[in-house]
Structure 1
Amino acid sequence: MIEIKTRAEIEIMRESALIVSKTLGILAKEIKPGVTTLQLDKIAEEHIRDHGAEPGFLGLYDFPNTLCMSPNEQVVHGIPNATPLEEGDIISIDCGALKNGFYGDHAYTFAIGDIDPKVEKLLKVTKESLYIGIREFKLNNRVGDVGYAIQQYCEAHGYGVVRELVGHGLGKKMHEDPEMPNYGRRGKGKKFIEGMVVAIEPMINMGTHRIKQHRDGWTITTLDKKPSAHFEHNVALVDGKPELLSTFAYIYDALGIKSDEEAEFRQEALVL
């Protein structure tokens, strides 16, 4: 059952989402060769708690950490460890926060120094597909419209679209209805209704769409061990249109990147 949110609840969710956004911005300044994912995990937990929230992933389904940290061929759900990051790596960081009874949850894939141009293109196309999908999240469209748009764009570039892992509704629970696959058929699936809040999150592989789960019960890698990218936003349906609750602006501010990619999904300018 889809849990519709009031305008007041959407604003509470925006606060939770922005705690995650700011956490990713803090991490963007720290990600470099030699840093371990465990070090980044500690920074994230402290920042979330300092802002009156609880880490959304820590203990959820018994996950052991604050962040899902997935380098290179890892798709999602990587567990932080003591292995240092290296020049040329990429790492997907998925972060959640719970405040005032509502979750925020989004993700970004970072480059560690200079990366292979082919991998850089994977990141670019995956992030572009996120916004292509968000544009389809509008009144009376359906789940399949979002998935179809993402799938067509990514497969046109020769990439694999993961099937087993999907986006989701978001609210008082981390995972609510509806499931939001990154593949599908136009006009199929549940219809979008005013007040819905979802996490749209393309998980796109450079090679095959097939994946493998590891013995730790969490880590997911590409079957062919080629790189994977993951970008995620939290989006509310407001006045029939998609409105971002999360932002990558704090990441871009930390990295010195100029971007207006989010402007069409905001009713007013975001103040950093």
Structure 2
Amino acid sequence: MIRLKNHTQIEGIRKSCKLLARMFQELVPLVQEGVETRDLDQWVQRYIKQAGGKPAFLGYGDDANPYPAALCVSINNEVIHGIPGKRKIQKGDLVSLDCGINLEGYFSDQAVTVEVGVVSPEAQRLNKITQECLYKGIEQARYGNRLLQIARSVYQYAQSYGYGVVHQYCGHGVGFSPHEDPQVPNVPHGPNPRLIEGMVLAIEPMINLGTGDVTLLDDGWTVVTADGKLSAHWEHTIAIFQDHTEILTLPE
């Protein structure tokens, strides 16, 4: 069931999103050669706590295997849900960061992919096109359109560059919890509800240099490309109004 939000509730989500956007502005410069990924997670946990929020991802999921961090750090062929640890970031890496904040019961979600130092031309191009895919999708996220218009725009743009589009994972509703209905795919397949006022969505293209197929590692969280090639990931939380669509996770 899609849970629509009223203006008061969207304001609460907006505050959570603005906090997350400010956090990313400070986090991205810390993604440097030699930094252990767990150090980024610890920084994020401190930042969120000091701001009066709670990490949305920490402890999320199955009770038997809850996600153990506040930040997902996925490097190169890792698509999403990379678990922070002792791994050190290297020059030339593509590092995807995904995080959410629970601020007084209102949830935000955002992802960016950071280029560490000078990356290969193919990595730079993939990252650029993936970010453009996000905004292509947002352009179609308008009152009166249908959900799969978002997916079709993302898919066709990525395909025009020969990239694989991840189909096993997708965007989602957000606001009252980290993941809500509807699913927001990047491949045009599945339910196709009309977009109406009060919908809050996380749009998140996951685009691969090769195949769109992915594999889940034994840790139960980390998703990698099936062919070992690079992946990039960008995400914004948006709100649908009758007369406009607002990107809530843009910095103020």
Taking structure 2 as the reference length, the TM-score comes to 0.96
Confirm or deny: 8 A CA contact 2:130 2:205 kept in the other structure. Answer: yes
Partner of 1:210: 213
Partner of 1:49: 49
| CA distance in structure 2 between the aligned counterparts of 1:57 and 1:40, rounded to whole angstroms | 14
Offset at residue 23 of structure 1 (A)? 1.6
Partner of 2:11: 11
Partner of 1:101: 105
Aligned partner of 1:149: which letter? S
Pairing partner for 1:140 from 122, 129, 144: 144
Aligned partner of 2:88: which letter? P
| CA distance in structure 2 between the aligned counterparts of 1:240 and 1:201, rounded to whole angstroms | 23
* Structure 2 unpaired stretches of 5+: none
Confirm or deny: 8 A CA contact 1:137 1:241 kept in the other structure. Answer: no
| CA distance in structure 2 between the aligned counterparts of 1:127 and 1:193, rounded to whole angstroms | 25
Partner of 1:77: 81
Does 2:247 correspond to 1:236?
A: no
Confirm or deny: 8 A CA contact 2:196 2:242 kept in the other structure. Answer: no
Confirm or deny: 8 A CA contact 2:170 2:183 kept in the other structure. Answer: yes
Offset at residue 8 of structure 1 (A)? 1.2
Offset at residue 188 of structure 1 (A)? 6.4
Offset at residue 193 of structure 1 (A)? 0.8
Confirm or deny: 8 A CA contact 1:88 1:113 kept in the other structure. Answer: yes
Within 5 Å, which residues of 2 pair with 1:1-272?
1-61=1-61, 62-184=66-188, 189-247=192-250, 249=251, 270=252
| CA distance in structure 1 between the aligned counterparts of 2:124 and 2:114, rounded to whole angstroms | 10
| CA distance in structure 1 between the aligned counterparts of 2:239 and 2:186, rounded to whole angstroms | 18
Cα distance per residue 1:136-193 (max 9 Å; x no partner) = 11111111100000000000000000000010001111111110000106x9601111
**Structure 2 counterpart SS, 1:204:** strand
Offset at residue 239 of structure 1 (A)? 2.8
| CA distance in structure 2 between the aligned counterparts of 1:58 and 1:67, rounded to whole angstroms | 8
Confirm or deny: 8 A CA contact 1:203 1:231 kept in the other structure. Answer: yes
CA RMSD of aligned residues (A): 1.2
Confirm or deny: 8 A CA contact 1:236 1:243 kept in the other structure. Answer: yes
Cα distance per residue 1:70-112 (max 9 Å; x no partner) = 0000000000011110100011000010011110111000001
Task: Give structure 1 regions of 4+ aligned residues with deviation exceeding 3 angstroms.
Answer: none
Confirm or deny: 8 A CA contact 2:196 2:241 kept in the other structure. Answer: no
Partner of 1:262: none
Aligned partner of 2:145: which letter? N
Taking structure 1 as the reference length, the TM-score comes to 0.89
Confirm or deny: 8 A CA contact 1:67 1:93 kept in the other structure. Answer: yes
